[in-house]
Structure 1
Amino acid sequence: MTNTVLSPPPAPVEPRHRWLPFGDRSRSSRLRKVLAWLAGLVLVLVVLELLGVDVLGWFSDLWDALSAIGFGYLVAGWTLQSLKTGLTAFAWYSILRVAFPAGRVAFLQILAAYAAGVALNGFLPANLGTVVTLLMYVAIIPGANLPGVLGGMVVHKIFFSFAGAFVYVYLIVSASGSLDIDLPDLGGHPVLLLGALAGAALLLVILGRTFWRKLRGLWAEAVQGGAILAQPREYALKVALPSFGAWLAKLGVIAVFLAGYGITVTFHTVMSVVGSGSIANVVSVTPGGVGVNQAADVAALSGVTDTATATAYSIGQQLAITAWNVAFALVLVVWAFGWTGGKLLVEQSYADAKVKVEEQKVRRAETKATKRAR
């Protein structure tokens, strides 16, 4: 009997897409595909221009914004923005890791999903990018569900709610003239004085009861995805502390770009921009808050610089940070999920996000119709 040596079976060839350069062993083929993609991209830009989309104008504005300040300011701003994104994502990672311990949450994937949402918020209205991020979390974490992730979001917002309240209180207290109102002399009118004090006390009681009901509601929502709240030390070190660092990085981004455009940087100036941005973010319905952010920043900086400089700062910072967010997210998504997997994940999450938003609109309309019928 002849001993035959069986050759090992050939290694399975990893499937690849014909039109993508990734995984192609031929250097010349990869080069041709890259050139073809670049040519296709140019063709898409030309078609968009013909359809009336001012793509070249956007790139021109971006170049003007980037060249208006020194490169060092851009590097500092982008570094702080990356730090902000990373710290915020780490807080999310800590929350989800405890909420779904069997899911084996990976930080890189959480970071990529969060960065993708931040980038999309630069183009989509009504913070739709945030919804995309939440749905990506549900998709990438085994055993995760949307109610649990929403509960985690409530926990994630606790620190930022206090930070936002601090900004508003500071601006109200420090507003010019807010504490210099000429009050009537009530010394000779004890009844009026007692009435004013009683009214103020009643107002405080009403506000306290209102906020307490909201706080109880937030706590009920946070229980499902907020398991980390049962571990105060873990929450303080791995959620609150990174969130505080992310908030400081956000202030740093604003300060860097203010300095880059020659605007005096003070604590009050930075707080004014933060407060105006928060309000603009709530009322904005335009993609990326374009226009609304500029109007809010001009109003916030009216006492320290002229309208033209404030507008240039606002547009420059938004364009520079948006461009960086897109590039940063693209690298992370490809790194974490691969080119094809990341593309499909973001596209599917975006489609699901639009469906969720439409469902919420329908529910609100039905609720209003029911109330009117009563």
Structure 2
Amino acid sequence: MLGAYVAGTGVNAIIPARGGDVVKLAIAKRALPEATYTTLASTIVLMTLFDSVVAGALVVWAVMLGVLPGLNVLPHLPSFDFGWFLRHPRLGAAIGGGVVLLLVVGIWWAALRVEAFWARVKQGFAVTRDRSRYLRTVVLWQVADWSLRLATVYWLLRAFSLPATLHNALLVQVSLSLSTIFPFSPSGIGTEQALLLYVFRGAASRTVLLSFSVGMRITLTAVNVVLGFSAILLTFRTLRWRRAVEPDRAIESPG
């Protein structure tokens, strides 16, 4: 599963719309051929729960500090990926509602067509039944992941001669998390830069902040791509990941 996570992260770094999640499923299926795609997808969702809680808490903290742009500012930020939806709220709400409706219909269809659908979903969350095991085998590793993220941001701040503090590292992480809520661009490129320039306005010149933002994104993307595609090469014996995962994307037959 580690290889699946690394490979998916590498693809997500350069492909928008969470394309790397397909790779995660394909590699996880290779590692666990007896598992169903429904169970594996549920496991991926499970792994996002802790991340969502931590990211949400950080966003609330940033909102309380008053450092994030308000709704009246967001549509006008340069390179803000989903600013169009904020400038056209009614149409944006209609599109968002349509996406939610399609998701609900898809789940309903799967529940009817795939035998024991909900049982397979529960299998993906089975580890949560044992609280100590969940904390030990899932949460502990995710805490380590978040710690490494903050450490990376801290040292990147130092590398660009910006004030390297835990407070600033957390603010950068908030910007990174918010930029990937709607994956219209790979790794939230554009939105990330716009948020960082706003959050750290006055702390340094725009040139320095932009250099930091772009330099950080290039560094993170390069590392993720190298590690991710190395995992793909080791798994599929090819870097043509689209062709490699295509046979695995067929919908499971009922039963």
Same fold (TM over 0.5): yes
Distance 2:226 2:25 in 1: 20
The structural deviation recorded for 1:121 is 1.1
Letter paired with 2:238: K
**Paired residue total:** 202
- Counterparts in 2 of 1:41-52, with a 5 A limit? none
CA contact (8 A) 2:58 2:170 kept: yes
Distance 1:170 1:333 in 2: 37
Letter paired with 1:224: Q
- Counterparts in 2 of 1:50-199, with a 5 A limit? 110-175=1-66
Letter paired with 1:296: L
Judge which range, 308-317 or 279-288, deviates more: 279-288
Distance 1:164 1:222 in 2: 24
- Pick closer, same or farther for the CA change 1:287–1:331 going to 2, 3 Å: closer
Look up the SS of the partner of 2:18 in the other structure: helix
CA contact (8 A) 1:125 1:287 kept: yes
Deviations 1:139-179 (A, max 9, x none): 33121111101211222122112211220121122226xxx
Aligned to 2:153: 254
Aligned to 1:234: 133
CA contact (8 A) 1:280 1:292 kept: yes
Identical counterparts, % of pairs? 23
Q: Does 1:346 align with 2:241?
A: yes
Distance 2:5 2:38 in 1: 18
- Pick closer, same or farther for the CA change 1:350–1:263 going to 2, 3 Å: farther
TM-score (norm 1): 0.49
- Counterparts in 2 of 1:163-312, with a 5 A limit? 163-175=54-66, 223-312=122-211
Distance 1:125 1:297 in 2: 20
Q: Which ranges of 4 or more aligned residues in structure 1 deviate by more than 6 Å? A: 352-356
- Pick closer, same or farther for the CA change 1:144–1:273 going to 2, 3 Å: same
Deviations 1:16-52 (A, max 9, x none): xxxxxxxxxxxxxxxxxxxxxxxxxxxxxxxxxxxxx
Aligned to 1:323: 222
The structural deviation recorded for 1:355 is 8.7
The structural deviation recorded for 1:296 is 1.8
Distance 2:192 2:229 in 1: 25
TM-score (norm 2): 0.70
The structural deviation recorded for 1:112 is 2.3
CA contact (8 A) 2:11 2:228 kept: no
Look up the SS of the partner of 1:127 in the other structure: coil
Letter paired with 1:175: G
- Pick closer, same or farther for the CA change 1:127–1:252 going to 2, 3 Å: same
Distance 2:163 2:247 in 1: 44
**Structure 2 unaligned blocks of 5 or more:** 68-117
Instruction: Give the aligned CA root-mean-square deviation in angstroms.
Output: 2.8
Distance 2:213 2:248 in 1: 29
Letter paired with 1:307: R
Q: Which has the larger radius of gyration?
A: 1
The structural deviation recorded for 1:249 is 0.6
The structural deviation recorded for 1:243 is 0.5
Distance 1:262 1:255 in 2: 11
The structural deviation recorded for 1:295 is 1.3
Letter paired with 1:254: V
Look up the SS of the partner of 1:305 in the other structure: coil
- Pick closer, same or farther for the CA change 1:230–1:284 going to 2, 3 Å: closer
Distance 1:124 1:298 in 2: 24
